[in-house]
Chain A
Amino acid sequence: MVFTRFLALLNTRNKEFLRDRSSLGWNILMPVLIVAGFSFAFSGDIGKQFKVGVINQNLASSVSQKFMQLKHIEFYQVDDFERAVSKVERHQVDMLLDAEKQQYWINTESPSGYLVEKVLLGVDNSGFHKQSVSGKQIRYIDWVIPGILSMNMMFSALFGVGFVIVRYRKNGMLKRLKATPISAFEYLSAQIVSRMILIMLVTAFVFYATNYFVGFVMNGSYASLFLVFALGALSMISLGLVIAARITSEEAAGGLLNLFSWPMMFFSGVWFSLEGAAPLMQAIAEVFPLTHVTAAARAIMIDGAGLIDVGYHITVLLSQSIVFLLFGSWYFRWD
């Protein structure tokens, strides 16, 4: 790779993006608007449904079963006890119930927990044993922010690289570049690095802007979060390269990019937790890079997780990046 050629491409691509005010504006404005919208929409807990995690659901006692048949309370099977208790502490789950031992955990500072407890005791007030936990509430906005940042990154990566490459191929710009000494590797590297720099800058700006206006939880390390977002950006840009490797029509590219981005947006745990979702949906979500960026960023921001804690997600993102990059570079055609 000749570095001056790489830098020339990188420099020009950065200028092109930064001078395209409408595109840049939407990249920054869209996530801020989404966060502001959610912050407003969920400020009053409108339409809230109570949520109870259940341990040993299959072995539930008759009294527990009676409680679990109540309407307007969402019950879900708990596999990870520690995590479930942590959710009660953060007000993300109103109660944790051991259906077999008739034991329950509530957050003494949670009004919803208090109400669910009263309902439980209304069913039977003699057979349940109370365990109290405490902790600061994690609002929906705190929970959804990592997903929105990741989702914005996904759109910028897929459309910002994939769509641009297809446009250049269609209008003959790639053909012109093919006639110069630059290699496909130099060209693709410049596209990837340019988009990564821009995604990280825009994400940092959106992070601080939304935090300034809404204020959200950040319990982990900024360096860890940076690494996760950088890997997430790399994997999704690489996916964009794969999609755009040969397509010559912007319409086809738009359709294909939507085919990837929309399912990712809805089934990667950005808007709602995948816990309790159908196994097939969870298996599909596992394939999406957005699932892993969101989960890792959420763990860092909310749980204060370290890199080792999110090692699985990092490994998946890194593996996906390598596979997508190798395949995309091999499959790439100038014209």
Chain B
Amino acid sequence: MTEILLEVKNLVKHYPSVKAVNGIDIALPAGICFGLLGPNGAGKTTTIEILEGIVAATSGDILYKSDVPGDRFRKEAGIMFQSTALQDYITVRETLQMFARFYPKNANIDELVKRCNLTEYLDQDNRALSGGQRQRLLLAIALVNDPDIIFLDEPTTGLDPQARRNFWDLINDIKADGKTIILTTHYMDEAYTLCDEIAIMDHGRIIAHGTPKELLAAHFNDVVLQLPATAVEGFDMSSLNAHSRDDHIEITTCDVNQVIASLIKSNVSLAQLQIRSRTLDDLFLELTGKELRM
């Protein structure tokens, strides 16, 4: 049986004006990447900050390696916040050295620098780092103590697509070492690519939980046909399960042949027709009624 590294029971966090976390349960096996998804205000950052020991819960239990998180947890956890300032006038090397000295156990700093692609910036002032370099340094800081559990709170927000892909490679690399990762993200493709398990949060509750494939299979058995909105202008779509999304029309169906036949019969141009499987974006929309990237 897989060891449960982190267990959360009926976690609640109430602020005077809002119930940020409203009774959630998580059992996190060692060695997986767990994704916590949700729109802004869903309670995922509050949840992750409670797990990190930054925010106190109103009620509920958290067990790390079957024990209440304490000094051991702080030594064995690696944390990358959504936004963290670094000290001015200090170089990348000095920043890593400082954090390394906070912990009794350290990762090999040279290997960490190479892995996070920081070699050529080692003597650069923190102030001079680009967004991607900065995120890689923050990840390196989170890994400096060779942690057993790593919290990554929206680690790729604000990065350009290439930097985001590079960051995914890094996280996959860490996963390959058998580390346990808790990741929050706004990006469904990121969750799908990186996470072994995901939980979707809304209004402080977990509304769906499982592997991405399990969740998709449980909620959908259809596919989506996409056409530009201009291609169906003037055509009666009432007999199809169609709705508009951005600048195109999406038709969901379990019988692709029948829909295509119907479109051909109506003389709709299929030149730009695309057929895709259901994604986590669709699942999210289905469950919360909200677009994810807000």
Give chain A's interface residues, CB within 8 Å of chain B: 4-5, 7-9, 11-12, 15-16, 19-20, 168, 171-173, 175-176, 178-182, 335
Q: Are A173 and B85 in contact (CB under 8 A)?
A: yes
Q: Are B54 and A12 in contact (CB under 8 A)?
A: no
Which of B52, B71, B75, B90 is within 8 Å of A16, CB to CB? B90
If A172-B85, A179-B53, A181-B71 are given as contacts, then 20 extra A-B residue pairs at C-beta distance below 8 Å, sorted by A number, are A4-B101, A5-B102, A8-B98, A9-B98, A11-B98, A12-B90, A12-B95, A12-B98, A15-B90, A19-B89, A20-B89, A172-B83, A173-B87, A175-B54, A176-B79, A176-B84, A176-B141, A179-B74, A180-B74, A335-B54
Chain B neighbourhood of A181, CB < 8 A: 71, 74-75, 102-103
Chain A neighbourhood of B52, CB < 8 A: 179
In the bound complex, what is the Cα–Cα distance between A173 and B75 (angstroms)? 18
B284 at the interface (CB under 8 A from A): no
Chain B neighbourhood of A171, CB < 8 A: 85
Chain A neighbourhood of B101, CB < 8 A: 4-5, 7-8
Q: Are A172 and B87 in contact (CB under 8 A)?
A: no
B108 at the interface (CB under 8 A from A): no
The residue of chain B having its C-beta at the shortest distance from the C-beta of A17 within the complex is B89
Q: Are A168 and B85 in contact (CB under 8 A)?
A: yes
Q: Which of B40-87 contact A (CB under 8 A)?
A: 52-54, 71, 74-75, 77, 79, 81, 83-87
Chain A neighbourhood of B102, CB < 8 A: 5, 8, 180-182
Chain A neighbourhood of B85, CB < 8 A: 168, 171-173, 176
B88 at the interface (CB under 8 A from A): yes
The residue of chain B having its C-beta at the shortest distance from the C-beta of A176 within the complex is B84
In the bound complex, what is the Cα–Cα distance between A308 and B75 (angstroms)? 48
In the bound complex, what is the Cα–Cα distance between A8 and B77 (angstroms)? 19
Q: Are A175 and B84 in contact (CB under 8 A)?
A: yes
In the bound complex, what is the Cα–Cα distance between A11 and B53 (angstroms)? 27
Give chain B's interface residues, CB within 8 Å of chain A: 52-54, 71, 74-75, 77, 79, 81, 83-90, 94-95, 97-99, 101-103, 141
In the bound complex, what is the Cα–Cα distance between A5 and B83 (angstroms)? 23
Q: Are B74 and A172 in contact (CB under 8 A)?
A: no
In the bound complex, what is the Cα–Cα distance between A15 and B98 (angstroms)? 12
CB distance from A322 to the nearest CB of B (A): 28
The residue of chain A having its C-beta at the shortest distance from the C-beta of B125 within the complex is A19
The residue of chain B having its C-beta at the shortest distance from the C-beta of A13 within the complex is B87
The residue of chain B having its C-beta at the shortest distance from the C-beta of A180 within the complex is B102
Most buried by A among B52, B87, B97, B141: B87
CB distance from A187 to the nearest CB of B (A): 10
17 contacts between A and B (CB under 8 A): A8-B97, A8-B102, A12-B87, A12-B90, A12-B94, A15-B90, A15-B94, A16-B90, A19-B90, A173-B84, A175-B54, A176-B85, A176-B141, A179-B52, A179-B77, A180-B74, A181-B71
Chain A neighbourhood of B79, CB < 8 A: 176, 179
CB distance from A232 to the nearest CB of B (A): 27
In the bound complex, what is the Cα–Cα distance between A4 and B98 (angstroms)? 10
In the bound complex, what is the Cα–Cα distance between A181 and B71 (angstroms)? 7
CB distance from A332 to the nearest CB of B (A): 15
CB distance from A85 to the nearest CB of B (A): 53
CB distance from A277 to the nearest CB of B (A): 43
Q: Are B90 and A172 in contact (CB under 8 A)?
A: no
Chain B neighbourhood of A5, CB < 8 A: 101-102
Which of B90, B94, B99 is within 8 Å of A180, CB to CB? B99
Q: Are B98 and A175 in contact (CB under 8 A)?
A: no
In the bound complex, what is the Cα–Cα distance between A180 and B145 (angstroms)? 10
Most buried by B among A5, A7, A168, A179: A179
CB distance from B237 to the nearest CB of A (A): 49
In the bound complex, what is the Cα–Cα distance between A11 and B90 (angstroms)? 11
Chain A neighbourhood of B75, CB < 8 A: 181
In the bound complex, what is the Cα–Cα distance between A16 and B85 (angstroms)? 14
Q: Are A178 and B54 in contact (CB under 8 A)?
A: yes
Which of A168, A176, A180 is within 8 Å of B81, CB to CB? A176
CB distance from A238 to the nearest CB of B (A): 23
The residue of chain B having its C-beta at the shortest distance from the C-beta of A12 within the complex is B98
Chain A neighbourhood of B71, CB < 8 A: 181
In the bound complex, what is the Cα–Cα distance between A137 and B81 (angstroms)? 63
